[in-house]
C-alpha cells in the first residue's frame, strides 16, 4: 500500500513513473467519467497519449518553461490532461474557478501574465472573448468542448490533440529533455484573501510532491481504492489530495456529474475515500438526525445507543490503543445494526472520509468517528 514509486521530486516525474508502471494495463485506469448514465474508464495509456499530444501543441505554439497557462473549467478529464501537459513543459498552471466573473478573470490573467488559457465550454469561452482585447499577453485560447463554428484564433481540444499528434510524428524529439526542477513554480493559486484584490500563491513542485509523500504515510491507499471527485480542482486541497495523491497510489478518480448529483454518484462509484469540506459533514449529520427523528422510539433508542457505543469505543482506542472486551462486543453489534446501514448510503466501501479546507468542529468529527 502507498506510493507506487516514491522517487519523484517534480510532478512530471510523478506522472511519468505512474504511466510507465501501468503501461499496457488496460484493466487499470486513473479516471472515470459518466457517459450515457454509466461510468466509463479512461486508461493510463490513453491519458498519457492525450497529455503528450496536448503538450506538443502547446510547445509548438509558444508555451515553454515558466510561462503561465490558466485553466478555467469544472472538474472533467480535460482538466487533468491540461494540468499534466502544462506541467510537463515546465510551465505554470493558473487554475481559475469557473464561477468567476469576467472582471476577476481579467485581473488574474493580467496579474500573472498568462500566455494561454484552456476553458471548458462556450460559457467560459464567452467570458474570455469579452476581455481578450484587454490582455496583450494572452495569445492562445483552447476550449475543451467541440466548437460548432469557427471562432478566429480559438481551437478546441480535439483539434489540439490531432495537431499535437501530427507535430510529434514530425518531431518525435520535441518533448525530450525538458528540464523541470523541484524548486520551479508549478502553480499560481489566486485567493481572495481578507482584503483587496486576489493574491497569487506560488507553490513549487517540491512543495506539492512533499505534501503528497507526507499524506501517503497517513492515508494508506493502493490501486484498489477509488474516490469521487466533486470539490473544485482549482483549490489546492482537492488538487493535492483528490488528484495527485490518488494518482501517485494508482487509485481511480470517479468524476461526479455535479454537486447536486453527489449522493447518486456516491452510490454508483462506491468510493473508498472521499475528500470533502466541513459543511458537507454538517449537512450529512443534520440529515441523519432528521431521518432518525422520524423513526420509531425503538429505532431511535438503538441509534443513539450505537452512537454512544461508537464514541466510547473510539475514546478507548485513542487513549489506550485498544478497546475493552465488553465495548468491543457492543461495537460489533452496533456495526451490524446501525453503522453498516449508514455506510451503505455511501456505497458500502468507504474507508476514509477526509475533511479539509476549514476546521471540522470537534463534535461533528466525533459523530462521524463513532459511526
pLDDT, greater one: 92 or 1: 92
Whether pLDDT at 194 is above 70: no
Whether pLDDT at 369 is above 90: no
Q: What is the pLDDT of residue 305?
A: 95
This prediction's pTM: 0.93
The answer to whether 292 touches 303, Cβ cutoff 8 Å, is yes
HSE of 98, CA atoms in CB hemisphere, 13 A: 17
Q: What is the pLDDT of residue 200?
A: 94
The proportion of the chain whose per-residue pLDDT surpasses 70, expressed as a percent, equals: 99
**pLDDT (mean) for 280-299:** 89
Mean pLDDT over each residue of the chain, to the nearest integer: 94
Q: What is the pLDDT of residue 193?
A: 61
Does 215 share its domain with 139? yes
Does 174 share its domain with 258? yes
What span, in angstroms and rounded, lies between the C-alpha atoms of 122 and 73? 11
> Does residue 6 belong to any structural domain of this protein?
no
Q: What is the pLDDT of residue 323?
A: 86
Q: What is the pLDDT of residue 103?
A: 95
> Does residue 343 belong to any structural domain of this protein?
yes
What does the DSSP assignment read for 96-137? E-TT--HHHHHHHHHHHT-SEEEESSHHHHHHHHHHGGG-TT
What span, in angstroms and rounded, lies between the C-alpha atoms of 218 and 230? 22
Contacts of 6 (CB under 8 A, 6+ apart): 213, 216
> Does residue 238 belong to any structural domain of this protein?
yes
Does 40 share its domain with 123? yes
Look at residue 249 and give its three-state secondary structure.
coil
Whether pLDDT at 284 is above 90: no
Contacts of 216 (CB under 8 A, 6+ apart): 2, 3, 6, 245, 248, 249
Whether pLDDT at 254 is above 70: yes
> Does residue 117 belong to any structural domain of this protein?
yes
Q: Work out whether strand 185-191 and strand 199-204 pair parallel, antiparallel, or are unpaired.
A: antiparallel
Does 323 share its domain with 239? no
| C-alpha cell belonging to residue 268 | 454508483
Q: What is the pLDDT of residue 368?
A: 86
The answer to whether 216 touches 206, Cβ cutoff 8 Å, is no
Q: Which domain holds residue 315?
A: 277-370
Q: What confidence category does residue 162 fall into, taking pLDDT thresholds of 50, 70 and 90?
A: very high
From the list 231, 179, 175, 237, the residue with the least C-alpha distance to 203 is 237
The proportion of the chain whose per-residue pLDDT surpasses 90, expressed as a percent, equals: 80
pLDDT, greater one: 371 or 129: 129
Does 170 share its domain with 255? yes
Contacts of 20 (CB under 8 A, 6+ apart): none
Domain closes at, from 238, 269, 300:
269
> Does residue 225 belong to any structural domain of this protein?
yes
| C-alpha cell belonging to residue 54 | 496536448
With vertex at residue 179, the alpha carbon angle to CA 166 and CA 12, rounded to the nearest 5 degrees, is 70
Does 302 share its domain with 181? no
**How many structural domains compose the chain?**
2
Does 361 share its domain with 229? no
Contacts from 340-343 at CB under 8 Å and sequence distance 24+?
A: 342/288, 342/371
Look at residue 38 and give its three-state secondary structure.
strand
Whether pLDDT at 195 is above 80: no
With vertex at residue 80, the alpha carbon angle to CA 86 and CA 351, rounded to the nearest 5 degrees, is 140
> Does residue 4 belong to any structural domain of this protein?
no
Does 317 share its domain with 340? yes
Domain closes at, from 269, 299, 325:
269
Q: What confidence category does residue 111 fall into, taking pLDDT thresholds of 50, 70 and 90?
A: very high
Q: Is 68 left (phi over 0), alpha (psi -120 to 50) or beta?
A: beta
Whether pLDDT at 70 is above 90: yes
Does 165 share its domain with 291? no
Bridge partner list, 204: 185
Domain closes at, from 222, 247, 269:
269
Handedness of CA 207, 208, 209, 212 (dihedral sign): positive
> Does residue 2 belong to any structural domain of this protein?
no
Residues 40-69 have pLDDT tens digits of: 999 999 999 999 999 999 999 999 999 999
Does 163 share its domain with 293? no
Cα end-to-end span (Å), the chain: 25
Does 97 share its domain with 157? yes
Contacts of 32 (CB under 8 A, 6+ apart): 39, 40, 41, 42, 252, 253, 254, 255, 269
Residue 202, Cβ density class (10 Å: 0-12 exposed, 13-18 middle, ≥19 buried): exposed
Does 189 share its domain with 325? no
> Does residue 264 belong to any structural domain of this protein?
yes
From the list 248, 46, 242, 260, the residue with the least C-alpha distance to 161 is 46
**pLDDT (mean) for 218-247:** 97
- The CATH number assigned to the domain holding 25 equals 3.40.50.12780
Q: Work out whether strand 154-156 and strand 116-119 pair parallel, antiparallel, or are unpaired.
A: unpaired
Whether pLDDT at 253 is above 70: yes
**pLDDT (mean) for 75-86:** 99
Amino acid at each position: 500500500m502507498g506510493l507506487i514509486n516514491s522517487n519523484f521530486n517534480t510532478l512530471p516525474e510523478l506522472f511519468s513513473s505512474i504511466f510507465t508502471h501501468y503501461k499496457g494495463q488496460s484493466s487499470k485506469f486513473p479516471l472515470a467519467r459518466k457517459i450515457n448514465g454509466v461510468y466509463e474508464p479512461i486508461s493510463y495509456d490513453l491519458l498519457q497519449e492525450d497529455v503528450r499530444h496536448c503538450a506538443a501543441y502547446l510547445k509548438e505554439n509558444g508555451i515553454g518553461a515558466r510561462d503561465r497557462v490558466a485553466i478555467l473549467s469544472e472538474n472533467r478529464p480535460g482538466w487533468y490532461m491540461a494540468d499534466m501537459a502544462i506541467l510537463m513543459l515546465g510551465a505554470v498552471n493558473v487554475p481559475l474557478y469557473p464561477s468567476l466573473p469576467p472582471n476577476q478573470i481579467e485581473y488574474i490573467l493580467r496579474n500573472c501574465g498568462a500566455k494561454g488559457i484552456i476553458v471548458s465550454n462556450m460559457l467560459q469561452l464567452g467570458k474570455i472573448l469579452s476581455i481578450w482585447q484587454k490582455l496583450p499577453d494572452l495569445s492562445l485560447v483552447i476550449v475543451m468542448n467541440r466548437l460548432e463554428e469557427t471562432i478566429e484564433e480559438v481551437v478546441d481540444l480535439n483539434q489540439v490533440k490531432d495537431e499535437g499528434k501530427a507535430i510529434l510524428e514530425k518531431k518525435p524529439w520535441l518533448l525530450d529533455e525538458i528540464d523541470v526542477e523541484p524548486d520551479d513554480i508549478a502553480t499560481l493559486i489566486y485567493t481572495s484573501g481578507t482584503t483587496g484584490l486576489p493574491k497569487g500563491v506560488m507553490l513549487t513542485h517540491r512543495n506539492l510532491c512533499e505534501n503528497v509523500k507526507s499524506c501517503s504515510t497517513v492515508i494508506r491507499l493502493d490501486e484498489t481504492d477509488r474516490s469521487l471527485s466533486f470539490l473544485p480542482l482549482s483549490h489546492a486541497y482537492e488538487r493535492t489530495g483528490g488528484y495527485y495523491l490518488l494518482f501517485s497510489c494508482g487509485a481511480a478518480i470517479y468524476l461526479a456529474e455535479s454537486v447536486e448529483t453527489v449522493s447518486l454518484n456516491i452510490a454508483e462509484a462506491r468510493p473508498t475515500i472521499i475528500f470533502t469540506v466541513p459543511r458537507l459533514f454538517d449537512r450529512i449529520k443534520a440529515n441523519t438526525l432528521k431521518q432518525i427523528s422520524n423513526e420509531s422510539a425503538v429505532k431511535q433508542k438503538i441509534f443513539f445507543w450505537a452512537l454512544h457505543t461508537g464514541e466510547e469505543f473510539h475514546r478507548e482506542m485513542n487513549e489506550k490503543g485498544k478497546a475493552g472486551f465488553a465495548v468491543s462486543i457492543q461495537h460489533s453489534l452496533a456495526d451490524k445494526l446501525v453503522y453498516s446501514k449508514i455506510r451503505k448510503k455511501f456505497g458500502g466501501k468507504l474507508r476514509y472520509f477526509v475533511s479539509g479546507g476549514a476546521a471540522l468542529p470537534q463534535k461533528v468529527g466525533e459523530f462521524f468517528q463513532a459511526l
